[in-house]
Structure 1
Amino acid sequence: MAVTIKQVASAAGVSVSTVSRAFTAPDQVQPQTLKRVREVAAELGYSPNPAARSLRGGRTGSLGLIIPDIANPFFPPIFKAMQARARRLGYTVLAADTDEREYDELETIAAVSKQVDGLILWASTLPAERLRELGAEMPTVLVNRHVEGLPELRISLSQGIAQAAEHLKAYGHTRCVFVNAEHGEHGRGKSIRQVFEAHDLTLTELGPYDPGFETGVHAATLVAAGDATAVLAHNDLVAVGVLHQFAKLGVAVPGQVSVIGIDDTLLAATSTPSLTTIRISADEVATRAADLLIDTITGRGEARSAEIGSRLIPRASTGPAPG
């Protein structure tokens, strides 16, 4: 027979409402009392019902993570790290993807928001006004998207891109290609162009395409027909598509063309050749995003935004420019 909240309250010597707050609003309970209630609950085997908590206390104990594409190997480690961080803070994480489509994002948000205390939206495609409306309805944190008035986590590629440009310049490259797989005004192409031009590197942009393996295959064929000696891909998945097609076409990497990805997923270390890439720390992204959302939910802390950086991880796919 399941242990009831009344039994926990009686054993802990507190009221039922105090036990309820210990699980739905722990910041409203004295630390010693909170510790006592949770110890007793654990001893008795009490497990609060998230749905009931939602109805009684307005909290579900869950965070929502909406990402563009769960098939992208960049996102599973972030979900796993965020789940671990959330558990330590007394939350669970519900994740869903949108297939990079605005309509699917709206439907997903509508479904998930009923089950969570707040949302993390990754590179949202929704209009700014709709995001502001959502932020007024429930705690919302944006990742890689800026909307005035909403908490955000920025992933800065500036340092990693500058290091990539310096790396290629040192190897004697002058003609480069950027495979763009990000639509809209929020893409990274502009900053990449500025940095590469500052290093006297000519940059041709292909796309925008979809951010998948097939994009890399398509782009590699175009690069092979030109005179570029280096490729910077939108992400590791695109970069691996480039490597795959170059191997089929007999283009030597890095002998004829050097290739750089972005993200530093497992693909980068296991590809042939191993992929030089710009690392974004999954653990740091997950921790900062989860903390920012929980602070927004509970009203603790004044931070409305945070930023993490990036760095180049050189591997075997880059080398001296030919000739």
Structure 2
Amino acid sequence: MPLTLPGTFATILPIDDQEGSVAVTIRQVAQAAGVSVSTVSRAFTAPDQVQPQTLQRIRDAAAKLGYTPNPAARSLRGGKTESLGLIIPDITNPFFPPIFKAMQARARRLGYTVLAADTDERESDELETITAVSKRVDGMILWASTLSEDRLAELAETMPVVLVNRHVPGIPEIQISLTAGISQAAEHLKAYGHTRCVFVNGSRPELSRGKSIREAFEAHDLSLVEFGPYEPRFETGVHAATLVTSSDATAVLAHNDLVALGVLHQLAKLGVDVPRDVSVIGIDDTLLAETSTPSLTTIRISAQELATHAADLLLDTIGGRAGGRVVEIGSRLIPRSSTGPAGR
């Protein structure tokens, strides 16, 4: 199906510009001509790269269907913008500004600029953002995309795309592996005598963070109660902290630092001492983790490493060198003051 914004005929793919008519998509032309979507795209943007017989078949199919290429798409494919797109879920999350800054620095050294946009973790906003940004960049990095696999595969056929924290076969991907960091967190809590833990889950169902955490904690004989899934925001931690106080858990692992800081904030308001009464661990290692009171034990994901690999992978994708390559970024525990011996 075409990548279409709800309630409109606007699509990422080339569309018929005639008002009031249903758009004919590049995918329909490809099916009618018996070729791939990328071949149809080349037929209209770089016809010299397509075999004459195939080119004629595509043109005939397009004429029969009434397909008209999008001028903006032709412009995008006809010349480089020297810009890269970065689509992130939530710019208010302190994890993302250092990612953007590091990616921008890497891109500048390679002769590119970076355009960043926030989707507020909503599919409709992500679709609108992609539609706008795709006209201004040579390729895009999509972070934890909310789009379906079919829509992402369709998008990847029309322009270079790299996914972060989302797997779709055949699309280049940056995979953040929390395996080492989570295992170290479980060992850390076990060594402090904790046996009953809570995981505040801010993951969407299709993401595997919760599953990885449950498996790691079970491997270390730690019981784990899960709250959520909720949205991965500060307010989630505030809400979850009250639930923690009504449980018998002595340790909390939060979906990210932002949620963990919400937990710390609310526990302090409730008179619960951290780490004497409850230990708290976050994920990401943002600047706020180090400066909070108490300082937050967290699982570090290197912003510099992540941004560098993401930019390089996208440039390889733009150059046709990436294939469906997956680059894995590791993690490790950073112990600070928010964890200590089990106290209740």
* TM-score, L = length of structure 1: 0.82
Match of 2:305 in 1: 284
1:66–1:120 CA contact under 8 A, matched in 2: yes
Q: Distance in 2 between matches of 1:57 and 1:114?
A: 12
Which deviations, in whole Å up to 9, do the C-alpha atoms of 1:29-81 show, x marking residues without a partner? Answer: xxxxxxxxxxxxxxxxxxxxxx9xx5795210000000000010000000000
Q: Distance in 2 between matches of 1:134 and 1:161?
A: 33
Q: What code does the residue aligned with 2:201 have? A: N
Higher helix share: 1
Which deviations, in whole Å up to 9, do the C-alpha atoms of 1:225-269 show, x marking residues without a partner? Answer: 111000000000100000000101010100000000000001100
Q: What code does the residue aligned with 2:205 have? A: G
Q: Distance in 2 between matches of 1:62 and 1:134?
A: 18
Q: What code does the residue aligned with 1:304 have? A: R
Match of 1:226 in 2: 247
Which deviations, in whole Å up to 9, do the C-alpha atoms of 1:183-238 show, x marking residues without a partner? Answer: 22214101100110110000000001111111000000000111100000000010
Offset at residue 305 of structure 1 (A): 1.7
- RMSD of aligned alpha carbons: 1.5
Match of 1:48 in 2: none
1:125-144 correspondence runs (5 A): 125-144=146-165
Q: Which runs of 5+ in 1 are unaligned?
A: 1-50
1:1-323 correspondence runs (5 A): 57-300=78-321, 304-322=325-343
* CA gap 1:303/1:124 in 2 versus in 1, 3 angstroms: closer
Which deviations, in whole Å up to 9, do the C-alpha atoms of 1:83-141 show, x marking residues without a partner? Answer: 00000001000000100000100110000000000010000010000000000000000
1:236–1:268 CA contact under 8 A, matched in 2: yes
1:268–1:276 CA contact under 8 A, matched in 2: yes
* CA gap 1:301/1:211 in 2 versus in 1, 3 angstroms: closer
1:292–1:303 CA contact under 8 A, matched in 2: no
* TM-score, L = length of structure 2: 0.77
Secondary structure of the equivalent of 2:135? helix
Q: Distance in 1 between matches of 2:259 and 2:296?
A: 11
Offset at residue 300 of structure 1 (A): 3.8
Q: Distance in 2 between matches of 1:248 and 1:300?
A: 53
Offset at residue 303 of structure 1 (A): 7.1
Q: What code does the residue aligned with 1:305 have? A: V
Instruction: Report runs of 4+ in structure 1 exceeding 3 Å deviation.
Output: 54-57, 300-303
Q: What code does the residue aligned with 2:105 have? A: A
Q: Distance in 2 between matches of 1:269 and 1:107?
A: 36
Q: Distance in 2 between matches of 1:299 and 1:289?
A: 15
2:162–2:174 CA contact under 8 A, matched in 1: yes
Moved more, 300-309 or 271-280: 300-309
Q: What code does the residue aligned with 1:273 have? A: P
Percent identity between the two aligned chains: 79
Offset at residue 318 of structure 1 (A): 0.2
Q: Which runs of 5+ in 2 are unaligned?
A: 1-71
* CA gap 1:167/1:74 in 2 versus in 1, 3 angstroms: same
1:62–1:117 CA contact under 8 A, matched in 2: yes
Offset at residue 299 of structure 1 (A): 2.3
Q: Number of matched residues?
A: 272
1:66–1:122 CA contact under 8 A, matched in 2: yes
1:292–1:305 CA contact under 8 A, matched in 2: no
Secondary structure of the equivalent of 2:217? helix
Q: Distance in 1 between matches of 2:77 and 2:173?
A: 30
Offset at residue 322 of structure 1 (A): 1.2
Q: Distance in 2 between matches of 1:178 and 1:56?
A: 46
Secondary structure of the equivalent of 1:194? helix
* CA gap 1:302/1:207 in 2 versus in 1, 3 angstroms: closer
Secondary structure of the equivalent of 1:77? helix
